[in-house]
Structure formats: C-alpha cells, structure tokens
Chain A
Amino acid sequence: MGIQLDFPAVLERWPSFLGGAALTLELAALATVFGALLGTLAAVGRGTHNALIATACRVYVEAIRNTPLLVQIFLVYFGLASLGLKFSAFTVAVTALTINVGAYTAEIMRAGFEAIPRGQIEAAEGLALSRVQVYWHIILLPAVERVYPALTSQFVLLMLASSVCSQISAEELTAIANYIQSDTYRAFETYIIVAVLYVILSLVMRAGFWSLGLVLFPRRRRLGTPL
C-alpha cells in the first residue's frame, strides 16, 4: 500500500499550468474590478431613501449570499443561452463571478459606510463641500480605507472560488488540471501541483493588495496601523 508519485511526468506540462494560472488571475482581476464597482453601487443603493431601489439591492445581496456559486454559474450560463445570447465560457465566468463577489462586497462596503461618524458628514457640509466632494472624500475613501483588509480577503477568496468555473469549461487552472490528469492518469500529482499553484497565487495576491494599500492609504502607513 505504498504511494508512488511521479511528478516529472506531470511537471513537463508546466506551460499549460502557467497558462491556466494566468487565466485564473485574469478572471480574478476582472471580477475584482467589476465586482468592486457593482458592490459599491449596491451598498449605496441599500442606503438610499428610495424604498424600491433599497429593496432591490437587499434582495440581490441576500439571494446571492444564500445560494452556491456553482448554481449561480449554471444559471448565468444557461440563462444567457436561453435568451439566445452566445458568449464564451470566459465571459460567462467573469459575469457570474462579478455578480457573486458584488453581493459580498456590498455587505463589506455597507459596514464601512455605517462606520463613518455622522458628525464628519455634517462637518463637511458645514464647510460647504459639494455633495460629490462629501461623498468622495468623507464617505467613500475613508470607508474603503477602513474595510480594505476585509475587501482584499474577499477578493482572494474570489480567486479561489473561480476554480468552480472549470465546470463550464472556462480554461482556468482547475480546468487545465482536469485535462492534464485525464491525459497523464496522474491525478493525485496533478492536483497537488495545482494546490501549490493556488497557494502561491493567493500569496501573490495578498502581497499585491498589501503594497497597493501602502500606496493608496499613506495615512495608514504613517499611523502604523497594520493593513
């Protein structure tokens, strides 16, 4: 009952692995950007006085957060198809991941907005800042600064969750692994390598977000607060 591992047989496919990892990063990057926008809009929407918009945003957030990503991906995949729209697996994957991470981002951003003291907004209004200025400088930026660690964790989790897109044949890392293992019959080795690559990808993303945070929030760095 010994395990015989043969890594070289699998590792010679390294260009495919790297290609898959690159596509995983690309998926994650696109979904992070679009998801951040969508989530911020949904968080703002939940806080408006318009009951219709606020309810719609709430339904969106709760519906997404209480159903599996796999089901959401299939719904987008077949939903777009049943509308007669033909998109590549990659486009479907970005769309589904954006819708998914948008809901989580909305919750995080809402927590950030709620943490802004009312007095700050009143003070800004007292200084005759315009509505846009108040929103940008007093509400949005400080809120993002406050929830930055939670946001970035969420985006790393999104990258890991993108592995589920292998189920609609988007050719990211896990899908590539599925091909390689059915080709080489070396399943265990293949998935060990893939697991290592995902760990590296998440470390790279964390380091990237950490340095981005140093650039974006120099005040935080001066205060010495950990990011």
Chain B
Amino acid sequence: MGGHLNVNHLIFLGHGALWTVGLSVIALIGGGIVGFAIALARISPLKSVRIASAAYVQLVQGTPLLVILFLGYFGLAAIGLQVSPLAAASASLTLYVAAYLGEIWRGSIQSVPKPQWEAAEGLALSRTQRMLKVILPQAIRIATPPTVGFTVQIIKNTSLASVVGFVELMRSGQIVNNSLFEPFVIYAIIAVVYFAMCYPLSLFSQRLERRMGRGRVNLAPA
C-alpha cells in the first residue's frame, strides 16, 4: 500500500483499456454473427425455429449479464473445458450481445416496407435472393444507428468481465488500487477513459439517427 500513481500504473491501465477494446470487438463480432442468425430465425417460416429463438432472446434478456458471465465461467468448467477468463468472457458476451443485436436487427428487417417484399416476390426472386438483394441492403441502413448505439453498451458491459478475473480496464484499475489505495482518484480516471471511448460513439449514433429522421430512445441496460 502507499506510493503514488506513476507512469507504470498508467501504462498498466492503458493495457487494460486495450483489452476493453479487444473484448468489445470480440463480443461485437461473435454477437453479430450469432445475432444475425437469431434475427433470421425470429422471422423464419418454421414455427418451431421462431419459438426457439424467441425463447432464447427472452431468457437472455431476462438474466443479468453478471449471472451469464458466472454461468459461462463455471458452466464451461462443468463440461470439462479449461476456461481462461478470456474464453469465458468472450463466450458469455457473445451470447448476451446476440440476443440484443438479434432483436435490433429483426426490428430493422421487419421495418423494411411490406411492398418491397411483395415487389421482390412479384419479380419471381427466390427467398434468398429477396433477402440478399432487396431487404438486407435497406435493413442495414435502418439498423446502423441503433447498432452503433448498442456498441456503447457493449463497451460499458465488458467492465463486468472483471468479476471473472479478466484484466480489462476495470480490473486493471482494481489491481492498481490494491497497491495504492486511492479508490476515488483511480475510479474517476477509469470513468473518464470509458467516457472517452463511449461518448464519440454515442454522438455518432445520434447523428446517424438524426440524419435518418427518427429519434430513438436508447434502451439497453447499464
């Protein structure tokens, strides 16, 4: 204990910040891939697929991320897999992000005007062609602002990976605090770093939303 915040501490925090970015990218890519499958499953012509994917979304959205992280950490261990904190955090965040992105993207796909589907059908395009050539290009435009907005939630939520021992920004702050015991100063610095990462994205998302002429309330959890 004791001592002052020095350059080494700041470098350590910087490493943590890089891992926060890294974990966010992993969660966004993993969650994006699974989430896209969820979005398609939610509008599938098969009823059983629709019900299964809806149940998945309800379960994940009704459970705190912290509990999902513990489930990932201890669950992977229970089936005999060696779990590093990185693997547990990546797997849990992927499942979590997929449920939210899946719903955001389902909404975007469904808000493409109905006549577009009908016109594509009238042109005798197959279901895959309709999706790829007519619906998705328009849905991507609609989905971009809320997806950027949700990225802010992902970055903030990676802070919870600290509880399974993954050394991202929050955890590195706790480690530095263990040697200095200046919690208020250190957590204030960490808050500023998170803000510096998230605020530009928030502004960008708001600008995109305004350009599309619709205001949307940000509804993701803290």
Shortest Cβ distance from residue A208 to the other chain B in the assembled complex, whole angstroms? 14
Task: Report chain A residues within 8 Å CB of B187.
Answer: 71, 74-75, 78
Task: Report chain B residues within 8 Å CB of A114.
Answer: 215
Task: Report chain B residues within 8 Å CB of A158.
Answer: 221-222
Within 8 A of A (CB), among B194-222: 194-195, 198-199, 202, 215, 217-222
Selected interface stretch from B5-13, B75-83, B112-120: B75-83
B79 touches A75 (CB 8 A): no
User: Please, how many angstroms separate the alpha-carbon atoms of A199 and B216 in the complex?
Assistant: 26
Cβ-closest chain B residue relative to A63: B195
A202 touches B62 (CB 8 A): yes
A174 touches B194 (CB 8 A): no
A1 touches B80 (CB 8 A): yes
Within 8 A of B (CB), among A162-190: 162-164, 166-167, 174, 177, 181, 187-188
B184 touches A66 (CB 8 A): no
A65 touches B217 (CB 8 A): no
Does chain B have a CB within 8 A of A79? Answer: yes
Q: Give 29 CB contacts A-B under 8 Å.
A: A3-B78, A3-B79, A65-B198, A65-B202, A66-B199, A67-B198, A69-B156, A70-B160, A70-B162, A71-B190, A71-B194, A77-B183, A78-B184, A78-B187, A82-B184, A104-B222, A107-B217, A157-B220, A160-B62, A160-B65, A161-B64, A162-B64, A163-B64, A174-B64, A188-B75, A191-B70, A194-B67, A195-B71, A198-B67
Contact residues of B with A, CB < 8 Å?
58-59, 61-68, 70-71, 74-75, 77-80, 152, 156-157, 159-160, 162-163, 170, 183-184, 187-188, 190-191, 194-195, 198-199, 202, 215, 217-222
Q: Besides A67-B156, A75-B188, A160-B63, 18 other CB < 8 A contacts?
A: A63-B191, A66-B198, A66-B199, A67-B191, A69-B222, A71-B159, A71-B187, A75-B184, A75-B191, A82-B184, A101-B222, A114-B215, A174-B66, A187-B70, A188-B74, A188-B75, A198-B63, A198-B64
Contact residues of A with B, CB < 8 Å?
1, 3, 5, 62-63, 65-72, 74-75, 77-79, 82, 100-101, 104, 107-108, 111, 114, 147, 150, 153-154, 157-158, 160-164, 166-167, 174, 177, 181, 187-188, 191-192, 194-195, 198-199, 202-203
